[in-house]
Structures are given as structure tokens and as C-alpha cells.
Structure 1
Amino acid sequence: MKVKRRTVWFLTLFSLVAVISVYYVFENDRNINLMAIFSDDTLQETTLTGLPEETRAVQSESYLFEQMRMEVEHERSQLREQYTQKIASDQYSAEEKNEAYNEMNALIKRNSSEAMLEMLIKSLGYSDAFVRIEGEKVAVTVMSDEMSKEEANEIIYVVMSEQGEGVQVTVNVQSNYY
């Protein structure tokens, strides 16, 4: 069964909107003064507090996969923190702040692409998958006892159809019995 790319993106966007909506409906502590953004002294005195950290809720059957996800999330949250500090600081030029903003957006896009690919690979029948995108290289690790060349090619096809033809895809297998 082939799923159209547009349908997958729509479902992902819809689920993201649903999760964010539920979060904001049930959130008790709102410390953000949105009107302060439009005042004259916004960059010097405005601090954003109470903003949720970006999280990827992925259930894993493998502690190894969960540990890898946590390491990547920790690394990327430190990068987000650096970018946020650079954007909020008045020590940098507008061009440097814009570059930090673009880097933060690229990081968010990479996180969502990885989550989408993990979901698509799991839909192929694997109990778990871990995807790491670094530039033009995509490393995929799936939980399976064994994998044929056809199954590996199917994963490579899914990744290339989402990321484009110019990416290098490596597929690794992690046994359920590690």
C-alpha cells in the first residue's frame, strides 16, 4: 500500500496542530506577554518564559533507540538554546541573528523530517526505527531480527522519496535481542 506524500504531510500537520491545541488548552501557567512584543523596548527587556520545549513523543520498544533519541534531543536542545541566546542578544548584528534564526528553523525542519521518516519506516512493519539526518547523509537503524536486500532497498526508497535523490542512505539493523 503506497501512501501519497501529500496525505502523510497533511496527517502529520493535523496531528501536530491537535497536540499543540490540547497542550495550550490544558496549560495552566502562561507567562508570555504577547503585547510586549509590539512595544518600543522589546529586544532589551523582553524575555520569553513559559515556552514549551520542542519534543518528539516517540514510543520505543528498544532502550537503545530511546537512549539514542535522548542524546540527539539533548544535543539539539543545547543548539536551540545557543541560537535563542544569539537571537535575543544585542551583541550580534541583524545578519548574524538572521543566520541563527535560519539555523534554528533548519534544526526544527530536520527534527520533523526525522520523525516523519521514522513513522514511515515503522509503517513498513518494523517495530522501531531511528533516523539521523546530517546534511546529505541519512542513517537509518531499524529494529529487526534480519533484513533482506529488498527490505533495505524499500527503506532507502522511502527515505529518498522524502529527502530527494541526492542523499546518501545507510541502513543498519539492530536485533531485538541485543
Structure 2
Amino acid sequence: MRTNKRTVWFLTLLSLVAVISIYYVKGKEPMSFDGISIFTKETTDIAKLTEGMDDSNKKMPVFAETVLFEEMRMEVRNERSKLNDQLRTKIGSAEYTVTEKNEAVNEMDQLTKRNSAEALMEMEIKALGYQDAFVRTENGKVTITVLSTEGQSKKQANEIIHYVKSSWDDARDVQVNFTGET
């Protein structure tokens, strides 16, 4: 059977759209992270399952804080998108010199690297065991907001600071803030 590249590309794109659509449709309601509620739909079943547990074993949904983190990410993304559009306009314009256009290209590259580094650092902080993290960099200053329901301590903050400084060369000043129910 012969398939051309366009057909394969179309089917791949279609399956990706289907997966993302299902993810967003299912992701609108807050989920409890106790492992059982993923398979049950009704809240009465969840109440019955967690009825015998004490308060320390019950898991609370962190939907509101996660939405806040997503809003912060969207604000940064919109701000950087506007800057990127301005730089693209500058590159395409005949009013600027070649050196100014090269500086704009370099600035776009730095912006892309910074976005990638922030996203990678967020994933690495989540891998340390935190529920969510938001990383923002500005001229060597790194501000990290961590969602933690287990409280906060100087030891945890120092662990994150050490991790960021050891894995990120541009991080000169690192500040860690904790948020979430304690």
C-alpha cells in the first residue's frame, strides 16, 4: 500500500488534534489526586471511598492554584508574544539597518532560549515532588513560585535554589516563593 507524505502528515495531525481535544474536554473539572477518583465519576462514590480515612490521608483538589499558575503563564506568554511580534516587524522592515536587524534576531533567539529554559526548569522542579511550579527570569534574576500543600521550609527553598543555580548558568539571583494550602 502506497501512502504519500501528505496523507501521513494529515493523519498524524488529526490524531494529535483528537488527543488534545479529549485532554481539554476531560481537564475542565477539578480532579482529586488520590488515585481512585480518576476512575469514578460521581462525588458520592468518592465520599464513600474516603469515609474511613483520617484527615491526613484525604487529598484535596489543587485546581484553583493550578489555574492561577496557568494564568501567570498566559500573561508571560502574551507579553513575550507581543515582544516577538515587534521584533519580527523590525526584522521585516526596510527602515532598520542590518546590524539592528541582527540584534533583533539575537534578541528573538534569547527570548526563545529563555522560554525553553523556564519550561524545562518548571518540569524539573515538578519532578522534585512539587505539584506545580512557575518560573520567571528577568536579567539573571529567577523568581520561582512553587505550589506545595505540605508546607514550606528554608530547607526546601535552599534545595530548589541550589538545584536552579547548579543547573542554570544564567541564574545569579534566585528567589523561591511557596503557595498553597498548608
Fold conserved (TM > 0.5)?
yes
- 8 A contact 2:164–2:171 mirrored in 1: no
Shift of 1:149: 1.4
RMSD (Å) for aligned C-alpha atoms: 2.4
Deviation larger for 162-171 or 128-137: 162-171
The structure 1 residue matched to 2:165, chosen from 154, 160, 165, is 160
Deviation digits for residues 48-107 of structure 1 (CA, Å, limit 9, x no counterpart): xxxxxxxxxxx9951110110000000000000000000111110000000000000000
Alpha carbons of structure 1 residues 81 and 159: separation in structure 2 relative to 1, 3 Å: same
- What residue is the counterpart of 2:89 in the other structure? 85
Q: How does 1:122-161 map to 2 (within 5 A)?
A: 122-145=126-149, 146-161=151-166
Residue identity opposite 1:26 in structure 2 = L
Aligned residues: 125
Q: How does 1:18-167 map to 2 (within 5 A)?
A: 26=13, 61=63, 62-145=66-149, 146-164=151-169, 167=172
Residue identity opposite 2:90 in structure 1 = K
CA distance in structure 2 between the aligned counterparts of 1:161 and 1:119, rounded to whole angstroms: 16
Shift of 1:165: 7.5
Shift of 1:176: 4.1
Shift of 1:147: 1.3
Gaps of 5+ in 1: 1-21, 28-58
- What residue is the counterpart of 1:171 in the other structure? 176
Alpha carbons of structure 1 residues 76 and 137: separation in structure 2 relative to 1, 3 Å: same
Shift of 1:24: 10
Gaps of 5+ in 2: 1-8, 15-26, 28-61
Fraction of identical pairs, as percent: 50
> Per chain length, whose mean CA-contact separation is higher, i.e. which structure has more relative contact order (CA < 8 Å, sep 6+)?
1
| TM-score normalized with structure 1 length | 0.64
* Secondary structure at 1:69 match in 2: helix
